[in-house]
Amino acid sequence: MDTLKAIKTRRSIRRYTSREVSREQVDGLLEAAMYAPSARNEQPWHFVVVTERELLDRLMKAHPYASMLADAPLAILVCGDTNLEKSKGYWPVDCSAATQNILLAAHAGGLGSVWLGVYPRNERIEAIRSIFSLPANIQPFSLIALGYPAEEKVVTDRFKPERIHINGWEWGK
């Protein structure tokens, strides 16, 4: 799938089949994440791959919008490592880019996914930190539910030329 098509057709998938996702597929998603751009190339991320049903169920209880984990065969927790920061405060931006790369790679590979926000919600951060016994320097950022889609989403046109401003705010008015 070409890049623009993957970007335009990716949708949040919340229903999954029981088909298992292979380790090779997961490795490919993590590789895509690690090729994301980051401030000063600091790459301040770590990834927790979650396949155990008990942990997925605990995550579902810890996150108010994670009910799709009941069907998902796996999730990836994207974390920022504040000890790896060269540019203070940029780890969330860098982890956003890594998260988006996972979503796009999943879609291009025939998988469905949905981004569940963790950061900056303290109650979610602390609940997830507790589940995985994360060290103080590791900040849970996003949780991505993954699996083979059991639903199809309509692709809509999201291009809005009225939100484009060239060389200033008043362009074209």
- pLDDT digit string (tens) for the chain, length 173 residues: 899 999 999 999 999 999 999 999 999 999 999 999 999 999 999 999 999 999 999 999 999 999 999 999 999 999 999 999 999 999 999 999 999 999 999 999 999 999 999 999 999 999 999 999 999 999 999 999 999 999 999 999 999 999 999 989 876 55
The whole-number pLDDT of residue 173 equals 53
Greatest Cα-to-Cα distance within the chain, rounded to the nearest angstrom: 56
Q: How many other C-beta atoms are found inside a 10 Å radius of the C-beta of residue 85?
A: 17
Count each helix (H run) and each strand (E run) in the chain, helices first: 5, 4
The whole-number pLDDT of residue 172 equals 55
Domain positions in the chain are: 22-152
Q: Are 118 and 128 in contact (CB under 8 A)?
A: yes
The whole-number pLDDT of residue 83 equals 97
Q: Are 53 and 108 in contact (CB under 8 A)?
A: no
For the full predicted model, state whether its pTM sits above 0.85: yes
The whole-number pLDDT of residue 171 equals 61
Per CATH, is 22-152 categorized as 3.60.110.10?
A: no
d(CA 124, CA 155): 30
Beta bridge partners of residue 12, listed in sequence order: 113
